[in-house]
Amino acid sequence: MNWLDEICWDASGLVPAIAQEAGSKDILMVAWMSRQALQRTLELGEAVYWSRSRKRLWHKGEVSGHVQKVESIRLDCDGDVVLLTVRQLGHDPGIACHTGRHSCFFRELRQGEWATVEPVLKDPEQIYT
């Protein structure tokens, strides 16, 4: 059996993928992967996702320069979530989010409201030119 066949792909042929920073163990982002995206990730050693909005493969950092170098690929016990351990590299090391923050998880529920708890490290208008 091919290792890709052991993954429980959803009806659209996708699986959620969590990107976790190798050093800090911070969860940087959650995205989706197709079979082709996961195969390319293994081949390149860099994260490649499936962009549901663009309907195409998305090599993380192709526009922003914020590349994710993959150190390990894990599969959860049910076979329906992939965990990538990554090193966030590129023009602005440490930025994974399109908002210019370290992580996409920059809001925290406080007293019934979402509060921004992480700073913008670089203005997105300077990243996406």
Residue ranges of E strands in the chain: 15-21, 27-33, 48-51, 56-59, 68-75, 82-88, 107-110, 113-116
Residue-level pLDDT at 92? 77
- The enclosing H or E element of 43 equals helix 35-44
> Which residue, chain included where needed, has tokens 């019934």?
112
Q: What is the CATH number of domain 3-92?
A: 3.10.20.810
> Which residue, chain included where needed, has tokens 């894990």?
74
DSSP secondary structure string for all residues of 7-40: S---TTS-EEEEEEETTT--EEEEEEE-HHHHHH
Residue-level pLDDT at 1? 75
d(CA 82, CA 61): 19
Q: Tell me the pLDDT of the chain (129 aa) as tens digits.
A: 799 999 999 999 999 999 999 999 999 999 999 999 999 999 999 999 999 999 999 999 998 889 999 999 999 999 999 999 999 998 777 899 999 999 999 999 999 999 999 999 999 988 886
Check: pTM over 0.95? Answer yes or no: no
Per-residue DSSP letter, 103 = -
Residue-level pLDDT at 127? 86
- For the stretch 98-118, pLDDT in tens is 999 999 999 999 999 999 999
